[in-house]
Structure 1
Amino acid sequence: MSARKLVAGLGAVALLVTGCGGSAPMGAGGAAAGRDEGPVKIGALHPVSGSNAVDGLQMRRGAQLAVDAINAAGGIKSLGGRKVELVTGDTQGKADIGQSEAQRLISAGAVSLVGTYQSAVSTNVAVVAERNRVPFVMDVTASDAIFSHGYKYSFRVQPGSKAIATAAAQYLKAVSEQAGKPVRKVAFLHEQSDFGSGAADAFTAAAKQLGIEVGPNISYDATTVSDLTAQVTQVKAAGADVLAVAGYYRDSLLAAKAIASVKPDLSAVWGVSNGAYDQPKFVTDAAAVGNLYFSTNYHYDATNPATVALRAKYQQLYGDPMRTGAVLSYDAVQVIAHGVEQAASTDPEKVRDAIAAAQVSPLTVGRGQIQFAPNGDNRNAFPVLMQVRDGRVQQVYPPEKAESRPDYRVAWRP
């Protein structure tokens, strides 16, 4: 059974069992009274412990900055200026804990949920949100499977796995041809959950349509892997001229270190929905090892003055560069607050309807305002190609979003 089918199956099981073990009643009616007075509560679910805690804490902080901005601007004006409060849960990066934390926050009166960074966790949270009729706005969740179930209460700000992987293949073909070195064969290294497997499957399908060979397809367990030298040696033996990598931060950094050690005969390293290669921390942690790495992903809009100002504020407050995930969390909370404002209500079903009709200006790269399709996906979400250049991550493609031109090579092959 594929990882994607397994996760979908677990979600279905979760739908059956959420009625047991102390769940709130259908419609979260047990929390209704708490929503009618005091601050408007938004529930934030992220992994603030475990292997993805750095990203999770960033995203919680991004959500809090959005709440602070809303309150500084007068709160929810249609509700007499009621303030907004972020109530938080730690998923620990585990689907079952994310599910129980979602139920806890809904029972505590959350009018909507935001999260979760990991697709497997979001799968379970979406089931809880649907059962309780409480909107769930996903900041970072790559899996497209969630949006194939006909859920009414699930929304996503970022572009999905298929959109990112398809763009990654298209950008690779265009950039390699512009460099005079058309891509011939791509090896794909990915973590084995729904996130990584989905990225690999979607990229493979898009690449084949463009006449690009893909193989071998090599997976690993991101939660336990400590070295990827053997996998990268397999890539070297396969004779691929590009290595695509879909993983989370820690394992993608391990892949970079293995690539530097093995030095396969590559023209480029190509991140696809990668959790590391577009991060400022990767530039520092990998140093010269990560120079010239590419990454196709969602990204904060480096050309937007409002985004620049937000990131400067984050840096001042926390002494750390603000990652794209945190900016997406900021956008997601703004979407929820807009929904409450337009609904003039804390009834989650009315808030859901207002979110479904929302148009909100994003601080992340997009083709326009955040606006949701009937399945809950952001119609205007837009992947961008980035590259580690001159000690920072730069947008390099497509040209209308580029800060500099792509440099199609690897650091160990001038």
Structure 2
Amino acid sequence: MRKRWTPALAVALPVVLAACGGSAPPGATGSDEGGGTGDTIVIGSLHPLSGAAAADGQQMDNGAQLAVDAINEAGGIESLGGAQLELASADTQGAPEVGQSEAQRLIQEGAVALVGTYQSAVSQNVAATAERNQVPFVIDVSSADEILQQGYTYTFRLQPSAEVLGQRGAEYLAQVSEAAGAPAQTVAVLHEQGPFGTAITESFRAQAEQLGMTVGEVITYDAANVSDFTTQITTVQESGADVLMVAGYYRDGVLVANAVQTVGPELDAVYGVANGAFDTPQFPGEVGAAGEGVFDANYRLDITNPETQELAELYEQTHGDQMRTAAVLSHEAVRVVADALERAGDTDPAALRDAIAETQLESLMAQSGPIAFTETGENENATPILMQVLDGNVRQVYPEEYAETPPVYPAPPGL
């Protein structure tokens, strides 16, 4: 039976290991001072802890730390004598070159695996570094398809790829709008200009056009520096589009919602695809009426799972904030590494990589099966679902098997 670590199972266990002196496994630290202490296995956590995406990055690092705490409290890695985990956190600043140098530093300092990084451009560099050093890298959040199109064997991704997110996003829009008797016809797109937003848009556009929709105005922006979207939303208004698709991060998502409310374009829907704001619990409270009716097709924590609910409650008790789905994925990434360490019984990077490749781990996410990776490193059961802000709360609305309530469509801004 595979070991599953969750807050419910994290019980404090005294762990006293034999002194290991110089016999610690690769990637582990140990000491024989004071009669013997347990080995420590280091996992590197790379996220934007400063800069425009710091709120998400801090949440994700917190989620990873909660997983480490739960595993250690439950006895550590049993197959390695109860070895304890240590999370080594690094700030990527949202910059690819910083992420790369920090990844290299963590590896040199003994990290047996890396998790991260939120921004696709950063994850591209970290994946290259992990591959060069042959150290496993588990991507929690970063959707760009090209990351896993390099033939890498040490990189794995938990969230759905950009291709899957874009395709499903277009399909859900077509299905929901047609069922409501108001099929989406012309879609304007507003996306951040990096690999993430570009990949989502390309996938969405191809599928939308195949389904008979016209993708008209496409507007890009720099997520790190944008401060207002009034001009862009005015362009959308003048385009005559009936739907605005938005792919971006949290801060810019809030700015978009506020600009839509200010400009007041006639739209049947503001429709996020992998949007970093529209499905977070903080979004409705921050933007108020400007968020009402907004959709997002994205990965999602499984709110029907009691263990996910317990994790979210623990997060709020510990950090005084509601847990975002991205933080759950970081928590999952650490669990994947720990599960692989347990099964491998070894911290050797090659053995750990092989164990990760054979993962079959129940997920705290809403997805169509356990965490399991394809030969290219994709989580084959990762499933985007459609959410909508209704009565000030983010609700799962489609497909039906995941829906808490039916979708409302058309959903003009602010309803």
2:297 maps to 1:273: no
Amino acid aligned to 2:339: H
CA contact (8 A) 2:186 2:216 kept: yes
Give the paired residue count.
384
| CA–CA separation in structure 2 for the residues paired with 1:127 and 1:197 | 20
| CA–CA separation in structure 2 for the residues paired with 1:313 and 1:81 | 24
CA contact (8 A) 1:356 1:372 kept: yes
CA deviations over 1:211-231 (Å, ceiling 9, x no partner): 111011111111111111111
CA contact (8 A) 1:270 1:295 kept: yes
Amino acid aligned to 2:370: Q
Amino acid aligned to 1:85: E
What secondary structure, in the 3-state scheme, does the structure 1 residue paired with 2:244 have? strand
TM-superposed CA distance for 1:319, in Å, is: 1.0
| CA–CA separation in structure 1 for the residues paired with 2:85 and 2:337 | 11
| CA–CA separation in structure 1 for the residues paired with 2:189 and 2:297 | 14
Q: Please report the TM-score for the alignment, with normalisation by the length of structure 2.
A: 0.91
5 Å-filtered alignment, 1:8-407, equals: 33-35=26-28, 37=30, 38-407=39-408
TM-superposed CA distance for 1:411, in Å, is: 4.9
What secondary structure, in the 3-state scheme, does the structure 1 residue paired with 2:138 have? strand
CA deviations over 1:365-394 (Å, ceiling 9, x no partner): 111000000000000000010001122111
What secondary structure, in the 3-state scheme, does the structure 2 residue paired with 1:329 have? helix
| CA–CA separation in structure 1 for the residues paired with 2:252 and 2:57 | 16
Amino acid aligned to 1:152: T
What secondary structure, in the 3-state scheme, does the structure 1 residue paired with 2:359 have? coil
User: Residues 34 and 208 (structure 1 numbering): CA distance in 2 closer, same or farther, change over 3 Å?
Assistant: closer
TM-superposed CA distance for 1:180, in Å, is: 1.1
CA contact (8 A) 2:301 2:365 kept: yes
| CA–CA separation in structure 2 for the residues paired with 1:295 and 1:412 | 14
TM-superposed CA distance for 1:413, in Å, is: 7.2
Gaps (5+ residues) in structure 1?
1-30
Amino acid aligned to 1:66: A
Gaps (5+ residues) in structure 2?
1-23, 31-38
Amino acid aligned to 1:369: P
CA contact (8 A) 2:267 2:412 kept: no
Amino acid aligned to 1:213: T
TM-superposed CA distance for 1:251, in Å, is: 1.1
| CA–CA separation in structure 2 for the residues paired with 1:218 and 1:91 | 27
User: Residues 161 and 342 (structure 1 numbering): CA distance in 2 closer, same or farther, change over 3 Å?
Assistant: same
TM-superposed CA distance for 1:51, in Å, is: 0.8
CA deviations over 1:247-301 (Å, ceiling 9, x no partner): 1111111111111111111101100110100011111111111111000000111
Alignment correspondent of 1:10: none
TM-superposed CA distance for 1:35, in Å, is: 2.3
Alignment correspondent of 2:21: none
Amino acid aligned to 2:308: T
CA deviations over 1:137-179 (Å, ceiling 9, x no partner): 0000111101111000000000011101111100001100111
CA contact (8 A) 1:245 1:274 kept: yes
| CA–CA separation in structure 1 for the residues paired with 2:206 and 2:106 | 39
| CA–CA separation in structure 2 for the residues paired with 1:248 and 1:32 | 40
More helix by share: 1
TM-superposed CA distance for 1:32, in Å, is: 7.2
User: Residues 175 and 39 (structure 1 numbering): CA distance in 2 closer, same or farther, change over 3 Å?
Assistant: same
User: Residues 78 and 187 (structure 1 numbering): CA distance in 2 closer, same or farther, change over 3 Å?
Assistant: same
| CA–CA separation in structure 2 for the residues paired with 1:82 and 1:400 | 40
CA contact (8 A) 1:289 1:411 kept: no
| CA–CA separation in structure 2 for the residues paired with 1:413 and 1:86 | 42
CA contact (8 A) 2:283 2:291 kept: yes
| CA–CA separation in structure 1 for the residues paired with 2:331 and 2:274 | 20
User: Residues 146 and 412 (structure 1 numbering): CA distance in 2 closer, same or farther, change over 3 Å?
Assistant: closer
| CA–CA separation in structure 1 for the residues paired with 2:289 and 2:258 | 10
TM-superposed CA distance for 1:206, in Å, is: 0.6
* Cα RMSD (Å): 1.2
| CA–CA separation in structure 1 for the residues paired with 2:313 and 2:399 | 25
| CA–CA separation in structure 1 for the residues paired with 2:342 and 2:138 | 16
CA deviations over 1:166-220 (Å, ceiling 9, x no partner): 1110000110011111111100011111111111111000101111110111111
| CA–CA separation in structure 2 for the residues paired with 1:197 and 1:150 | 21
Runs of 4+ residues over 6 Å off in structure 1:
none
Amino acid aligned to 2:324: R
| CA–CA separation in structure 1 for the residues paired with 2:262 and 2:212 | 30
CA contact (8 A) 2:27 2:348 kept: no
Amino acid aligned to 1:160: S
CA contact (8 A) 2:27 2:42 kept: no
